[in-house]
Amino acid sequence: MIVIANNEYGAIKVSREVLATYIGLSATNCFGVVGMASKTLKDGMASLLGRDSISRGVEIIDKEGVPQVNVYIIVGYGIKISEIANNVIQRIEYNVQEYLGVKLAGVKLVVQGVRVLD
């Protein structure tokens, strides 16, 4: 659990699963992101994860009490990857801080595949 706030009534906490799902949704709502990828590559192929397992492409690491996240995505062909990456990182940092009140230690983005857009 990640503590968001403490007050006289107790602590407000968010589970790692909720944080991972929120980060996954923030990433997939960015232009150019086709979907989330698995954290591990099997047989050298990046597998596209469905909407049910959107949080499986997110890894949360505890860095001195502050979460650092690794996000694994698949991008669309023909779009500048550096622009997509910057947009995804900014959106994740903003959404998590603004809507969950959690300050991240950092966001590491891993592009594990490129897919042709239909």
Mean pLDDT of the chain: 86
Question: Per-residue pLDDT tens for 48-101?
Answer: 555 557 888 999 999 888 899 999 999 999 999 999 999 999 999 999 999 988
Question: Which pLDDT does position 43 carry in this prediction?
Answer: 35
pTM of the model: 0.83
Q: Does domain 2-115 have CATH number 3.90.960.10?
A: no
Domain ranges, ordered by start, for the chain: 2-115
Coil, helix or strand at residue 102: coil
Strand-strand pairing, 33-36 and 66-76: antiparallel
Q: Is 7 exposed, middle or buried (0-12, 13-18, 19+ CB in 10 A)?
A: exposed
Distance (Å) of CA 80 to CA 1, 28, 67, 88, 99: 36, 16, 28, 13, 28
Question: Which pLDDT does position 44 carry in this prediction?
Answer: 41
How does residue 14 score in pLDDT terms, banded at 50, 70 and 90? confident
